């Protein structure tokens, strides 16, 4: 039964890809997008860090908390969550833009290397996973708690890394036993 499901999935994927290939083949002119992008196209276009800092500023939280109005505080949290998610979405869009720029530029290149492409695809995939984790954390816990959570994670990671380095340094390098070439 599992085999059958797998095989039906393969067949359906074939059909979907055939339709996609047919649609692209019909809609695309061969002369489009053949020019190489400029180096400036690869400049990362992201909203400034200051914008996120402003969005997650503790002063604003204190100011709203002082008002002691629960609906206002809830609205404030909702708005900040929405803004943070927008900021994160922009990073995902930027990674998609960079990758599609790459695909558009190398698709005609005769020297295309599958290993390099797979590595790049992996890097983009990893970024998307990190993005999805961050979005879920912000969505579930809100931006302020998510930031504290990420900060404590970074702190713990730093501690572990320091500990690892100290352990590695404390182990004195012992000489390896020399083989006795003459004896059996």
Could you say whether residue 24 binds other proteins (CB under 8 A)?
Answer: yes
Could you give the CA distance from residue 152 to residue 158 in angstroms, rounded to a whole number?
Answer: 10
CB of 47 to other proteins, least distance (A): 9
- Match 């070439």 to its residue by tokens: 181
Could you say whether residue 7 binds other proteins (CB under 8 A)?
Answer: yes
Residue of the chain from 85, 95, 128, 141 that contacts other proteins (CB under 8 A): 95
Confirm if 108 and 34 have CB atoms less than 8 A apart: yes
Could you say whether residue 132 binds other proteins (CB under 8 A)?
Answer: no
Could you say whether residue 83 binds other proteins (CB under 8 A)?
Answer: no
Total site size for other proteins, rule CB under 8 A: 61
Coil/strand/helix, residue 61 = helix
Could you say whether residue 124 binds other proteins (CB under 8 A)?
Answer: yes
CB of 115 to other proteins, least distance (A): 9
CB of 118 to other proteins, least distance (A): 12
- Segment near other proteins (CB under 8 A); pick from 26-34, 70-78, 165-173, 174-182: 26-34
DSSP conformational letter for 172: -
The smaller minimum CB distance to other proteins, of residues 40 and 178, is found at 40
Residues 101-120 that bind other proteins (CB under 8 A): 101-103, 105-114, 116, 120
- ∠ CA 163-143-55 to the nearest 5 degrees? 110
Length of the chain: 184
Query: What is the chain's alpha carbon radius of gyration, rounded to the nearest angstrom?
Result: 26
Could you say whether residue 49 binds other proteins (CB under 8 A)?
Answer: yes
CA torsion angle 89 93 95 97 (round to 10): -170
Angle between the N-to-C axes of helices 58-67 and 70-106, in degrees from 0 to 180, rounded to the nearest 10: 150
The smaller minimum CB distance to other proteins, of residues 17 and 160, is found at 17
| CA dihedral (25, 28, 31, 35) positive or negative | negative
Residue of the chain from 61, 83, 128, 134 that contacts other proteins (CB under 8 A): 134
């Amino acid at each position: 039964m599992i085999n059958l499901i797998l095989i039906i999935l393969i067949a359906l994927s074939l059909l979907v890809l055939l339709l996609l290939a047919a649609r692209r083949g019909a809609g695309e002119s061969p002369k489009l997008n053949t020019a190489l992008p400029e180096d400036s196209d690869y400049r990362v276009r992201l909203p400034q860090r200051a914008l996120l800092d402003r969005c997650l500023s503790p002063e604003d939280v204190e100011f709203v908390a002082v008002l002691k109005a629960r609906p206002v505080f809830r609205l404030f949290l909702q708005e900040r969550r929405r803004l943070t998610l927008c900021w994160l979405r922009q990073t995902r869009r930027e990674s998609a833009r960079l990758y599609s720029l790459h695909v558009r530029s190398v698709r005609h290149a005769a020297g295309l290397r599958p290993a390099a492409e797979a590595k790049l695809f992996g890097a983009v995939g990893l970024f998307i996973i990190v993005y999805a984790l961050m979005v879920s954390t912000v969505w579930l816990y809100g931006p302020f708690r998510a930031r504290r959570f990420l900060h404590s994670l970074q702190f713990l990671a730093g501690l572990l890394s320091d500990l690892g380095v100290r352990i590695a340094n404390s182990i004195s390098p012992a000489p390896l036993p020399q083989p006795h070439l003459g004896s059996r």
